[in-house]
Chains A and B, each alone.
Chain A
Amino acid sequence: MVNSKSFLKEVWKGRWGYLFITPGYLAFIVFMLAPLVLAISLSFTNATINLSARVNVGFDQYVRLFNDPIFIKALGNTVKYVLVVVPTTVIIALLIAFLIHPLGMKPQSFFRGAFYLPGVAGGVIISIVWLWIFNPTYGLFNYLLGLVGIEPILWLADSRFSFWAVCLVVLTFTLGQPIILFLAGLAGISQDIIDAAVVDGANSRQLKWHVILPLLRPVLLFIVATQTIGVFQIWETIFMLTQGGPSNSSNSLVFLIYQTAFIAGKYGKASAIGVILLIIVMCITLIQLRFWSRE
């Protein structure tokens, strides 16, 4: 009795707290939680454009998805995109950050800006330019490759190359962010630690591998996690360059969601693909949190 009374007192004392979170929390419930729950419930139906005619199909939806070769292809491609793009991004960004870090303030901010610029222009705009650069007959890319004796390649229309073409374009506009993060991480390492290692006789390679890299671990983990989650959601490059083709060789989960929901109007099926994507991304976030709490 006394307990519940003091609890109510606490609630009353915190009334301003509740009032101030109301607009934010309301927006969060209406535009995030409710759509999330609705998407999950839609995923168990065969909802189409004619929404009211939907019928519950239960887990059949998911069973059918895993027997759908296009879904399996898109899922496999998405994992492949992550396995190709994320390690490449991290390694190149780290190398570039190591090169930029010793420079003075002015050149540092110049290069930081230069590498971030394509990302600012946005994936859609960058993809539009690459559409031209990849043109098999008059594109810049095949011309440059021709100078070293490589025959023209149908980058976007050949199922052996479309996937790699998308990877390349994605790389050119996602590198900026990890470079900035690595630079911030490097700037946070105290000079004393480096001096101490040098006094102990570490050469520059040992310094990078055994002193600096372990200190960058939290930043590295953050980059790997955010990049992985980001690449899992790639689609605008695919939309602009290949529309997932040819024969789904460059399709991804999110592009498949777009096709299934907004082109074909199969909202139930698209929601199910979305839920699977959600589960994958959640697992990655959890693994990342485990890593983090170990630090």
Chain B
Amino acid sequence: MINIHQPVHHDRYSRIRKQFSILLSIMVLLSLASIFIVPLYWMVTGSFKYQKVTMDVPPEFFPANPTLENWQNLFFGPWPIWNWLVNSIIVSLLTVVIVLLISSLTGYSFGKKKFPGSEILFFILLSTMFLPSQVMLIPLFLLVRTFQLTNSMVGVYLAMALPMLASPFGIFLVKQYCSTIPDELIDAARIDGASEWKIYYQIMLPLLKPALAALAIFTFSNSWNNFMWQLVIAGDKLQYTLPVGVSYIARTPAYGRSVIDIGLTMAGGTFGAIFMIVFFIAFQKYFIEGVTFGAVKG
């Protein structure tokens, strides 16, 4: 027996219940999120604490007596922190430019052009997408060493970009995105007498923009955090990238001290994180597209 009156009777009560449950979820989520945010909060506030205060028991939850000492030491100390920042930016931008160029051309070709062998060639590419990159680092490292690429800064930038240039994911992403673009657009342009290059850069590139934006963000952040490779490639401190440099500060006592300067390390960490965080907040939409790609469509 189904009671038809029940839903109507149920309605007002369930609305209150629903609002209450949403309030409850927000409370739970806020407390959970704080666990994730606390390390970041600890880092930022720690960067404004005196060395003595960073070792206080019980710890000081908010710097009552803030100082800029750590930031002064970071910016005017013995480390080339601005070089590290510039290095990170150049390496990541260089990687993004090359990866976008290569992936858009190759992905478009696999997505829209018919030629014998294209399926098997694409399959080989795809099958390496999830391989652990560390395996390839040893031969690449020997290659870089043999050609002594790290003797010049240009060589260092190039070397640091190398392992990311083979970009099966980027090619895959562009190819998949191409399937949403109607063939008629390309055919019409061809009938109008547009050359193959023109079709690529005047028709395909603008249409591929959303996919390329997501790929650019994804590549930039991956390159920025490509820690192991940058660590083994960098010879002297001037060649460090920002994460490598910051990790060096965190492991090396400075100013003749025998212990690691925690406040300084936190300032370094904050400086190292701030760029990616600002970048993320500005481009959150594309970050999320890059993450969800493949899972939901795949």
Q: Do A120 and B276 contact each other (CB < 8 Å), given the known contacts A17-B114, A143-B59, A240-B250? A: yes
Residues of B within 8 A of A76 (CB): none
Partner of A16, one of B57, B113, B135: B113
Pair B139/A122 contact, Cβ less than 8 Å:
no
Q: Does A66 contact B (CB under 8 A)?
A: no
Q: Does B74 contact A (CB under 8 A)?
A: no
Residues of A within 8 A of B35 (CB): 172
Partner of B227, one of A10, A131, A185, A236: A236
Pair A116/B280 contact, Cβ less than 8 Å:
yes
Alpha-carbon distance A180/B107, docked complex (angstroms): 26
Alpha-carbon distance A72/B33, docked complex (angstroms): 37
Pair A138/B167 contact, Cβ less than 8 Å:
no
Q: Do A28 and B125 contact each other (CB < 8 Å), given the known contacts A133-B42, A281-B130? A: yes
Interface residues of A in 235-257 (CB under 8 A from B): 235-236, 239-240, 254, 257
Question: What's the dominant secondary structure at chain B's contact region?
Answer: helix
Pair B109/A21 contact, Cβ less than 8 Å:
yes
Q: Does B213 contact A (CB under 8 A)?
A: no
Residues of A within 8 A of B133 (CB): 233
Q: Does B29 contact A (CB under 8 A)?
A: yes
Q: Which residue of chain B has the shortest Cβ distance to A219 in the bound complex?
A: B295
Q: Which residue of chain B has the shortest Cβ distance to A232 in the bound complex?
A: B132
Alpha-carbon distance A259/B114, docked complex (angstroms): 46
Pair B138/A267 contact, Cβ less than 8 Å:
yes
Alpha-carbon distance A129/B40, docked complex (angstroms): 8
Alpha-carbon distance A114/B277, docked complex (angstroms): 11
Alpha-carbon distance A270/B140, docked complex (angstroms): 13
Q: Do A282 and B125 contact each other (CB < 8 Å), given the known contacts A99-B28, A138-B55? A: no
What 0/1 pattern do residues 239 to 269 of B give for CB contact below 8 A with A?
0000100110010000000000010011011
Q: Which residue of chain A has the shortest Cβ distance to B262 in the bound complex?
A: A132
Residues of A within 8 A of B165 (CB): 27, 31
Q: Does B22 contact A (CB under 8 A)?
A: yes
Alpha-carbon distance A31/B58, docked complex (angstroms): 52
- Interface size class of chain A, counting residues whose CB lies under 8 Å from the partner chain: 35 or more
Q: Does A154 contact B (CB under 8 A)?
A: no
Pair A103/B265 contact, Cβ less than 8 Å:
no
Pair A240/B22 contact, Cβ less than 8 Å:
no
Instruction: Report the stretch among B65-73, B77-85, B284-292 that lies at the interface.
Output: B284-292
Residues of A within 8 A of B177 (CB): none
Instruction: Report the stretch among A55-63, A82-90, A104-112 that lies at the interface.
Output: A104-112
Interface residues of A in 189-244 (CB under 8 A from B): 218-219, 222-223, 229, 232-233, 235-236, 239-240
Pair B134/A277 contact, Cβ less than 8 Å:
yes
Residues of A within 8 A of B262 (CB): 132
Q: Does A35 contact B (CB under 8 A)?
A: yes
Q: Which residue of chain A has the shortest Cβ distance to B294 in the bound complex?
A: A222
Q: Which residue of chain B has the shortest Cβ distance to A36 in the bound complex?
A: B136
Partner of A25, one of B121, B135, B277: B121
Residues of B within 8 A of A138 (CB): 54-57, 59
**Chain B: minimal CB distance from A282 (Å):** 7
Q: Do A184 and B295 contact each other (CB < 8 Å), given the known contacts A113-B281, A138-B57? A: yes
Residues of A within 8 A of B280 (CB): 113, 116-117, 120
The total of chain B residues at the interface (CB under 8 A) is 95
Pair A184/B26 contact, Cβ less than 8 Å:
no
Pair A7/B228 contact, Cβ less than 8 Å:
no
Partner of A32, one of B55, B109, B128, B250: B128
Q: Does A33 contact B (CB under 8 A)?
A: yes
Pair A118/B103 contact, Cβ less than 8 Å:
no
Residues of A within 8 A of B29 (CB): 96, 99-100, 111
Residues of B within 8 A of A115 (CB): 33, 36
Pair A14/B276 contact, Cβ less than 8 Å:
no
Q: Does B8 contact A (CB under 8 A)?
A: no
Q: Does A271 contact B (CB under 8 A)?
A: yes
Pair B246/A125 contact, Cβ less than 8 Å:
yes
Pair A223/B295 contact, Cβ less than 8 Å:
yes
Q: Does A145 contact B (CB under 8 A)?
A: no
Pair A124/B113 contact, Cβ less than 8 Å:
no
**Chain A: minimal CB distance from B227 (Å):** 5
Residues of A within 8 A of B187 (CB): none
Q: Does A275 contact B (CB under 8 A)?
A: yes
Q: Does B148 contact A (CB under 8 A)?
A: no
Task: Name which of B26, B56, B288, B295 has the most chain A CB atoms within 10 A of its CB.
Answer: B295
Residues of A within 8 A of B200 (CB): 20
Q: Can you give 7 A-B contacts (C-beta < 8 A)?
A: A120-B273, A122-B243, A128-B250, A129-B40, A137-B55, A180-B288, A235-B228
A114-B33, A120-B280, A121-B276 provided; 20 other pairs, C-beta below 8 A? A13-B115, A14-B115, A14-B116, A20-B105, A23-B101, A24-B102, A35-B137, A103-B25, A118-B39, A122-B227, A124-B243, A129-B46, A137-B57, A180-B292, A222-B295, A235-B228, A239-B247, A240-B247, A274-B132, A285-B130
Residues of chain B whose beta carbon lies under 8 Å from any beta carbon of chain A: 21-22, 25-26, 28-29, 32-33, 35-37, 39-40, 42-43, 46, 54-59, 98, 101-103, 105-110, 113-116, 118, 121, 125, 128, 130-143, 162-163, 165-168, 171, 196, 200, 221, 224-225, 227-228, 231-232, 243, 246-247, 250, 262, 265-266, 268-269, 272-273, 276-277, 279-281, 284, 287-288, 291-292, 294-296, 298
